[in-house]
Amino acid sequence: MTSADDSTGGVTLSEGRVRFPGISPRAYEHPADRGALTTLRSVPGFPQVLRAVNGAFGERSERLWSRASSIRVGPRQYPALDKIRNECAEILDVDPAPELYVTRNPVPNAMTIGLDQPFIVITTGLVEALDTEGLRFAIGHEVGHALSGHALYRTMLERLLRLLTSMSWMPVGYWGLRAIIAALKEWYRKAELSADRAGLLCVQEPTTALRTHVLLAGAVDPSEVDTEAFLAQAREYEAEGDVRDSVLKLMNVIDLSHPLAVVRAAELQKWAASEGYREILGGTYPERSDDPQNQWTEDVKSAARSYRDAFVETTDPLAKVLNEVGGVISDAAGKVWSRFTTRPEPPTASGEPPADESPASSEEPPADEPPATNGTPKD
């Protein structure tokens, strides 16, 4: 654990914001993010597709395209955005700061892509829609993606979506690819919740994050939108309807890469009111250097806790069933793995079997590699 710091190494932070030296992405990641990624990796064919897609293409294609068709942010090009980029990287201790490009597109959007050196692309629609603090939240969100190592799987999703159109004439390959893309989208919707938390750590003001979500949901003038009424929509969405409506809710998001705007805003405000967020601001958070070398079992446990919490809080009838099933599966996965990784000992002299031992760390499944100590994830 470490403490927050308001000093910087060359970047002046505005508005008295604190920085978080060496912060681990686990400090802000949503438990369902890690759990969904664990599930994603278990999808049949996923490891083979990951190797094939990333082996066939380096990240040069995306980087060259952005360099040739967009504006690279720097001291002489979008200097205000460059200042925000460097401040967000300084707060989350990401060094070097990811490159940032602005591309012409009226749809407000942003993404972090790349394999070895992730970079950020934001649209002119986003730049025009948000004020300075809103852009800080959006860019901090993307820096959080980079720190968490999300860019690898986001890049894979983009490539598979392009590949899907060329494989529609191959029924078997098409549907296999659809399954992997569906799992990637489910994970990415959870990853967006994690990145929202990183964006909040960069602005350090929940009302700014909420105003940004209001703007992206459809507000032209945020002063004309009552935030309490806006958040009430999320509560109504969760509570309203029967199982039939629950199925419709699932159908609404199945092809989306991002959570629904109103629900997403409510989820972030819930975290902003939590003790965990206050502890990070107060200087208590895990460091990257303390991240466990093997994270698989902890990810499963976190996912199970997340399902149980959702089961308690939701009023959606189908969501209760699915969350309960998800929690049971996550619990069972952890127990099964513990069973396989526990080494039995020979019987004692009395003939009684010895007590179970904890699984040896060397026999646990391969772990995610923690982000590099300089803040740039290496996938």
pLDDT at 150: 82
- Label residue 291 exposed, middle or buried (CB < 10 Å: 0-12, 13-18, 19+): middle
pLDDT, tens only, 213-263? 999 999 998 889 999 999 999 888 887 666 666 677 767 766 676 788 898
CA gap 108, 130 in Å, rounded: 9
The C-alpha atoms of residue 133 and residue 122 are separated, in whole angstroms, by: 15
Proportion of the chain above pLDDT 90, given as a percent: 39
DSSP string, 146-175: HHHTTHHHHHHHHHHHHHHHHTTT-HHHHH
Let me know if residue 206 belongs to a domain: yes
DSSP run (H or E) holding 317: helix 317-341
Mention every residue, 6+ apart, whose C-beta is less than 8 A from residue 114. 59, 62, 63, 151, 155
Residue 109 has pLDDT above 50, yes or no: yes
What is the tally of structural domains in the chain?
1
What integer pLDDT is reported at residue 358 of this predicted model? 44
Question: CB-based burial of residue 274 (10 Å sphere; 0-12 exposed, 13-18 middle, 19+ buried)?
Answer: exposed
Tokens of 147: 């720190």
Higher pLDDT, 198 or 14: 198
Q: Band the pLDDT of 151: cuts 50, 70, 90.
A: confident
pLDDT category at 14 given cuts 50, 70, 90 is low
120 phi, psi to nearest 5 deg: -110, 140
Residues 288-346 pLDDT 10s: 988 765 554 455 455 445 544 544 455 555 455 545 544 544 455 455 445 444 544 54
Query: Are 292 and 298 spatial neighbours (Cβ–Cβ below 8 Å)?
Result: yes
347 in a structural domain: no
| Sole residue written with tokens 């179970």 | 356
Is position 118 within any domain?
yes
Q: Is residue 42 part of a domain?
A: yes
173 vs 39 pLDDT, higher one: 39
- Evaluate whether residue 309 is within a structural domain: no
Instruction: Output the pLDDT for position 19.
Output: 95
What domain range is 154 assigned to?
14-222+264-293
Tokens, residue 24: 């681990």
pLDDT recorded at residue 370:
44
Tens digit of pLDDT for each residue in 339-366? 444 544 545 444 444 444 444 444 444 4
Nearest-5° Cα angle at 87, 83 to 93:
145
In a domain, 158, yes or no: yes
In a domain, residue 249? The reply is no
**253 and 259 in contact (C-beta within 8 Å)?**
yes
- Would you give the distance in Å from CA 145 to the centre of its chain? 6
Contact (CB, 8 A) for 295 and 29: no
Cβ distance 190 to 145 under 8 Å?
no
Give kind and range of the element (H or E) at residue 209: helix 206-217
Mean pLDDT of the chain: 75
Does 7 map to a domain? no
